[in-house]
């Protein structure tokens, strides 16, 4: 259920400094299991700058979620990744850490795998022969996971608890960030 949409007037684009071309749009929704969530989109018509984010507005406990992908039907499982969340797929050797340009999004497992594939393909453009073979092997594994031929684990960790795998089969546990290891 949508709660509130908003736009903010910004005079200049922070990237190209153009006047009147920068837009900030957003909305606040009340999402089951998460409470109030704010989605934002920043964009510039002049330089094509774009940044999207999803932020939970309430406080949450640090959490870790694990989901075992075993079939094509698992690809529809909902994934919420905030800008503070980390995604791991150990079978691919992939860890996506948050950084200054990290974006939040709401997707599903297939969408997460597609994002990984796009990142690998982008990296392959500049890769040497050894890295190219490694990247191509990751893409082959992604195809096998999507086809239900290779089982894989999707892990989502968020120290602020704003990310999640939304499925009753997902294993979830609260993180104790004060313990070492």
Q: Please tell me the predicted confidence (pLDDT) of residue 34.
A: 64
Residues 24-40: pLDDT tens digits? Answer: 999 998 876 667 888 88
Residues 39-54: pLDDT tens digits? Answer: 889 999 999 999 888 7
β-pair partners for 120: none
Residues 100-125: pLDDT tens digits? Answer: 778 888 899 999 999 999 999 999 99
What distance in Å separates the CA atoms of residue 145 and residue 151, rounded to the nearest whole number?
6
What distance in Å separates the CA atoms of residue 57 and residue 117, rounded to the nearest whole number?
30
Contact 36, 58 (CB under 8 A): yes
The encoded tokens of residue 176 equal 């104790």
User: Please, which pLDDT band fits residue 10 given cuts at 50, 70 and 90?
Assistant: confident
Q: What is the pTM of this model?
A: 0.75
Q: What is the DSSP string of the chain?
A: -EEEEEEEE-SB-TTT--BS-EEEEEEEEEETTTEEEEEEEEEETTT--EEEEEEESS----EEEEEEE-SGGGGG-EEEE-TT-EEEEGGGTEEE---TT---EEEEHHHHHHHHHHHHHHHHTT--HHHHHHHHHHHHHHHHHHTTSS-EEEEEEETTS--EEESTTSEEEE--TTS--
What distance in Å separates the CA atoms of residue 173 and residue 178, rounded to the nearest whole number?
15
- Is the pLDDT higher at 83 or at 79? 79
Domains of the chain: 2-56 (2.20.25), 63-174 (2.60.120.1040)
């Amino acid at each position: 259920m949508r709660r509130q949409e908003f736009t903010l007037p910004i005079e200049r684009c922070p990237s190209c400094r153009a006047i009147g071309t920068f837009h900030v749009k957003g909305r606040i929704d009340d999402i089951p299991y998460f409470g109030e969530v704010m989605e934002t989109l920043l964009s510039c018509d002049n330089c094509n700058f774009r940044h999207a984010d999803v932020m939970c507005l309430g406080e949450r406990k640090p959490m870790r979620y694990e989901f075992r992908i075993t079939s094509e039907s698992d690809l529809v499982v909902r994934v919420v990744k905030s800008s503070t969340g980390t995604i791991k797929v150990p079978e691919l050797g992939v860890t996506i850490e948050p950084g200054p340009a990290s974006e939040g999004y709401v997707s599903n497992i297939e969408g997460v795998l597609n994002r990984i594939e796009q990142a690998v393909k982008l990296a392959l453009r500049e890769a040497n022969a050894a890295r190219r073979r490694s990247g191509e092997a990751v893409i082959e594994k992604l195809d096998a996971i999507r086809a239900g031929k290779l089982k894989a684990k999707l892990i989502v960790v968020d120290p602020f608890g704003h990310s999640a795998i939304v499925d009753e089969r997902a294993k979830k546990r609260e993180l104790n960030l004060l313990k070492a290891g």
